[in-house]
Amino acid sequence: MDMIQSIRNVLVPVHRQGYPFIATFLVAAVLLGLLWEPLFWLGLILTLWCAYFFRDPERVTPQAGDIAVSPADGKVSFVGPVVPPVELGLPAEPMLRVSIFMNVFDCHINRAPVRGRVARMVYREGEFRNAELDKASEVNERSSMVIEGPHGQIGVVQIAGAVARRIVPFCAAGDALEAGQRFGLIRFGSRLDIYFPAGTVARVGEGQKAVAGETVIASFGEGLANWSFRKD
């Protein structure tokens, strides 16, 4: 039983959004293997990568009211003041933006940075440039939402990249979200931009690795005392 439990602890659940893709990769591997056996093994490796891409691990989220957690796994690619996209409906003045770039090996399940209500959701078609480029915030296809929380409105923008071709939302305008709750995913490599109101203090630096639902990326006021945690 200890061995079985150890295996269960190592294995990470796969999100159901990945099932059709994993099945497609596996069928393709079998068909290619009928033509030439080495192609089967190559296809099997790609199938395992696909399952790894759609992994959906549990996360333990700090529940302190004065902090924001990362909505994505990946590298912090930008921290600084930027005017938010027009579609967010936020004031046309610089806000603290934290950008997190997800490569094709990062977990792509996105989680709410704060507790609040989804006040606005807007999908905008666009290009599919490298999401790590700053220009991607303006020209790439993206899904934007505004969360009304205890400390004001926070903008969260899912940006498709050169490989990503689909943004899948798990919520809608009017929904209530808890910090760390899953709200969507992007296939297959992309970026998250988070816009914070005045007075927010960044708690990460460029180049740092962030973990969705766990890494504290910003705080409001003091924001670093009396934490509790939420496992999901």
d(CA 171, CA 117): 10
Strand, helix or coil for residue 103? coil
- Which SS3 state, helix, strand or coil, does residue 55 take? strand
Residue 166 has pLDDT above 90, yes or no: no
Q: How confident is the model at residue 108 (pLDDT cuts 50, 70, 90)?
A: confident
Q: Among all residues, which ones are annotated catalytic? A: 190
Q: What sign for the dihedral angle of Cα 125, 127, 129, 135?
A: negative
What are the residue ranges spanned by the domains of the chain?
2-53, 61-231
DSSP class of residue 14? B
CATH number of 61-231: 2.70.70
When mean pLDDT is compared across 43-47, 172-176, 224-228, the lowest value belongs to 224-228
Residue 7: what pLDDT?
Answer: 44
**pLDDT for res 163:** 62
Instruction: Count how many residues are written for the chain.
Output: 232
How far apart CA 158 and CA 141 sit, in angstroms, is 9
% of the chain beyond a pLDDT of 90 = 61
Residue of 118 and 232 predicted with greater confidence: 118
Q: Which long-range contacts (CB under 8 A, 24 or more apart) does 44-50 make?
A: 47/22, 50/18, 50/21, 50/22, 50/25
Which of 17-21, 125-129, 171-175, 199-203 bottoms out in mean pLDDT, i.e. has the lowest? 125-129
Task: Give the span between the Cα atoms of 179 and 229, in whole angstroms.
Answer: 10
3-state DSSP percent of the chain in helix, strand and coil, to 5: 25, 40, 40
196 HSE (CA, 13 A, CB side): 26
Q: Is 28 left (phi over 0), alpha (psi -120 to 50) or beta?
A: alpha
The mean pLDDT of the chain is 86
**Predicted pLDDT of residue 180:** 95
- pTM value? 0.85
Task: Quote the radius of gyration of the chain (alpha carbons, Å).
Answer: 19
- pLDDT at residue 198 greater than cutoff 60: yes
pLDDT of residue 224: 54
Segment 7-30 mean pLDDT:
82
